[in-house]
Amino acid sequence: MKAFVVDKYKKKEALRLAEMPKPELRDEDVLVEIHATAVNLLDSKIRDGDFKLFLPYRRPFILGHDVAGKVIRVGSKVTKFKPGDEVYARPRDHRVGTFAEFIAVNSSDVALKPKNLSMEEAASIPLVGLTAWQALVEVGRLKPGQKVFIQAGSGGVGTFAIQLAKHLGATVATTTSTKNVELVKSLGADVIIDYKTQDFEKVLSGYDLVINSQDIRTLEKSLRVLKPGGLLVSISGPPDPEFAKALGLNLFLKLVMRLLSRGVRKKVKSLGIRYSFLFMKAEGQQLSEIASLIESGVIHPVVDKVLPFEKTGDALAYVETGRAKGKVVITVKR
């Protein structure tokens, strides 16, 4: 099968289009013919080697974390899916590889595709949808009437998280550029900060929850908009000791995580607030719940561009510019 692979960890390294063996099907897997995939900043971070300490891949490996497609075979222990089912998923770590024509995915990571979405629209959802769900619902435990600050509202995670937070009954603040103000307003944002002309730290205060997706400087400023006891969930780091413990990392890596997050944890303690690093995990049941919200019209996908499979490298380069509104999607099977 055709696939885009990473040959070595290197910043801005071009992906190579290669012929790769069709994936082997395990007992609990479904084999999916990929119709569409999507590009995430996580793809470039994996290629660059940013996470190789705790998430190493044996090179060459196929990149890609979002899939929408059709089941063509199921493993001997799979009862939930059958050939012909239209599904979507974010395959679990160490088994990614959606920049390809086929992928074998553990069936517990898979859900039926929302009926009202095309394959391309469905492919835009899994990674950002699960990230937003786990940040707001699982870790943040966002409740009606609370205030949440979601950074980068016009990005992939931001466009989904704003809609989910409004559904949960929260007041939502976000940052965006001047040209995307109307977009985030249409998604439900209540307080919109144009980062080109405003400083969110001077506008926001007393927030219950912050979803941080930016650099360490923005993270440190964001701590100061939280009320006492408030929580900052960061999807961009630094990883903390609790994350290292959950992953069962060795003593050396636990020490590395402790050192990386030392400054943030010290500030958090002095301010009387809380910090949590989130590295999203694959979860088919949560994708099923997300599909229900999409089918009921609560959440709509936001897709910036749809490019053909051969332009996968161009799609990754565009996402890296930081200018994408919502998601950039790749059509694999026409």
pLDDT of res. 159: 98
pLDDT of res. 175: 98
pLDDT of res. 164: 98
Whole-angstrom distance, CA of residue 160 vs CA of residue 267: 29
Q: What is the mean pLDDT of residues 220-245?
A: 95
pLDDT of res. 54: 87
pLDDT of res. 78: 98
Whole-angstrom distance, CA of residue 181 vs CA of residue 178: 6
pLDDT of res. 269: 96
- The 10s digit of each residue's pLDDT in 102-125 is 999 999 999 999 999 999 999 999
Query: What is the chain's Cα-based Rg?
Result: 19
Confidence grade of residue 95 (pLDDT, cut at 50, 70, 90) = very high
Domains of the chain plus CATH, in order, are 2-125+301-331 (3.90.180.10), 128-277 (3.40.50.720)
Q: What is the mean pLDDT of residues 247-262?
A: 92
pLDDT of res. 143: 98
Average pLDDT, the chain: 97
pLDDT of res. 272: 98
pLDDT of res. 334: 85
Q: Does the pLDDT at position 291 exceed 90?
A: yes
Lowest mean pLDDT among 50-54, 73-77, 79-83: 50-54
Confidence grade of residue 53 (pLDDT, cut at 50, 70, 90) = confident
Q: What DSSP string describes 221-275?
A: HHHTTEEEEEEEEESS----HHHHHHHT--HHHHHHHHHHTHHHHHHHHHHT-EE
Confidence grade of residue 301 (pLDDT, cut at 50, 70, 90) = very high
Whole-angstrom distance, CA of residue 52 vs CA of residue 232: 25
